[in-house]
Amino acid sequence: MSKVTLSVIKADVGSIGGHTKPWSGRGGQANNPYAIDRNPCGSSSGSGAAASANFAAVSLGTETDGSIVCPASINGVVGIKPTVGLTSRAGVVPISHNQDTVGPHARTVADAAAVLGAIASQLPDPRDPATGSTRSKVFTDYTQFLNPDGLRGARIGVARSGITGSSDKADAVFETAIRAMRDAGAIIIDPADIPTINEINAGNSEIVVLIFDFKRDLNAYLASRVGLGVHTLADLIAFNQAHADQELPFFGQELFELAESDPFDVPTAAAALARDRQIGGPLGIDAVLQQFHLDAIVAPTGTPAWTTDLVNGDHFIFASSSPSAIVGYPQISVPAGFSFGLPVGISFLGTAFSEPTLIKLASGFEHVVQPRRQPKFLSKLPFDSGGSPNEVEAQGWKSSSGRVVFDPGNQVNKVEGTA
């Protein structure tokens, strides 16, 4: 099951502001299975929600920046965003050939790892030049790297600067997760900040790359499709304008129009891509891994789900996906706990083709915390209807530190006996 609600173009590059993920004129609004009025994030919204809701054992998502790991975190499932080139993008609606990648959503790390082995491109795919990367780093079976004791002895750096501090709810779950990893034998280096995070978060180079790539990549994709009524980005813009009551009732298509205007020339786009590769890799993730001799970096994936707002758009605060996205490196989001009954995930980040290490760490973390619980498809959370936060189900994951209880003061699940 691939992207169940195809909001990828509108959600990621459709409108400068006021859009909500994952609304589309064809499918309407997808919802979060833990609370129907909450957002499932995107753009692989339906993929994350479907796996979480048990509509499918596994699903496939695509990510340009955050579109696998954010829905994974918000819907309480595992999401593996592979190294660009590990899986083929042939047939996938593109945004940027420099950042797009296909990966699984599943309810367990084991299921996600099994799917990754099935979709990994063992040989170069002539339809996707990125798969010409070193095939010796691609495996047919990623379940061989599952390890319930995978955290023991691992050196894990905590990325804080530019990532934590925006959401008390996400931060509280993250702090408890760090303690659980330390209890499980991980060597925690805290902080281990990405030195280029502020430039990465500003996104000045990334937006140039995405806008430049989008028109060219989408036009090439549409030209390869048979039987479509649109053949170029310009056709798509015209179609949306002609059917604005169906396609544009809540937001515009300013970024479509910006991409069509071709505002960046080839040298500008090439310089932006080169800068992204530097600040994401040698000056970013790789610099931290080497400085502290780390196996991986850990960070909160993002915030709990916000209330869907079709009028004002997404209430999005932060995500940790951009460092990996701009350089094409892998990232795995795994459930870590709950805030007011809403899932919160953490992410393991590594260098190119480090999926085996990330799977080992993610499976070890999953074994320790066992955080998943079934969604109940609530129309809204109990306290949203005038109830107290205490009414939110208090059961959660366990750690060697003690029993998880609900702390209404911190508004998160925490381990009994810890600060």
**pLDDT attached to residue 189:** 99
- Give the contacts of 363 (CB within 8 A, at least 6 positions apart): 109, 110, 113, 145, 146, 147, 148, 150
CATH number of 381's domain: 3.90.1300.10
Task: Work out the mean pLDDT of the chain and round it to a whole number.
Answer: 86
Is 2 part of any domain?
no
pLDDT surpasses 50 at 299 = yes
Is 1 part of any domain?
no
Residue in 65, 62, 71 with CA at minimum distance from that of residue 32: 71
Domain that holds residue 98: 8-415
Is 368 part of any domain?
yes
- pLDDT, one tens digit per residue, over 135-163 is 778 999 999 999 999 999 999 999 999 99
Number of domains the chain is built from: 1
Please tell me the pTM assigned to this model: 0.87
Is 333 part of any domain?
yes
Is 351 part of any domain?
yes
Is 54 part of any domain?
yes
Is 3 part of any domain?
no
Distance CA 82, CA 403 (A): 34
**Which token pair is 331?**
């990232």
Is 392 part of any domain?
yes
- pLDDT, one tens digit per residue, over 19-57 is 555 667 777 778 899 998 998 898 888 899 999 999 999
**pLDDT attached to residue 45:** 86
